[in-house]
């Protein structure tokens, strides 16, 4: 995982993907490897692959707030505002103090229902 993080830090996506793929071959139940690969795919604008990896992450660790944040961000970019809002609310149920989820949920609440008068 350190090698993958180093490669990601250097923007060497191919090396990072290779390391994460190998990690998952060695330990397919390692939720964080799935999440890191989801993050890498997201950063490469490969949202379908990112969604598949998020699904794998959450099947192994249903309370993985980072994976849920990634899912919500993809849903928001796909203009699925209600689903994104619901997912941000799930994040907040796990990690109530996460400012980015609070901000996103507030922004989407205003967008979905309109501003409070």
- What pLDDT score was predicted for residue 9? 94
User: Residue ranges of the chain with pLDDT lower than 70?
Assistant: 115-117
DSSP string, 11-33: T-HHHHHHHHHHHHHH-TT-HHH
Q: Is 60 helix (H, G, I), strand (E, B) or coil?
A: helix
N residues, the chain:
117
Q: What pLDDT score does 13 carry? A: 96
Please tell me the predicted confidence (pLDDT) of residue 114: 74
pLDDT value of residue 85: 98
Please give the C-alpha separations between residue 100 and each of 2, 7, 111, in angstroms, as whole numbers: 25, 26, 16
């Amino acid at each position: 995982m350190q090698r993958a993080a180093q490669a990601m830090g250097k923007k060497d996506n191919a090396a990072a993907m290779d390391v994460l793929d190998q990690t998952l071959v060695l330990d397919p139940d390692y939720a964080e490897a799935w999440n890191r690969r989801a993050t890498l795919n997201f950063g490469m604008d490969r949202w379908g692959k990112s969604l598949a990896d998020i699904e794998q992450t959450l099947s192994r660790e249903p309370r993985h707030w980072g994976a849920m944040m990634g899912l919500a961000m993809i849903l928001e970019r796909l203009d699925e505002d209600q689903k994104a809002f619901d997912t941000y609310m799930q994040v907040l149920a796990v990690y109530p103090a996460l400012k980015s989820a609070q901000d996103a949920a507030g922004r989407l609440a205003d967008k979905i229902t309109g501003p409070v008068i």
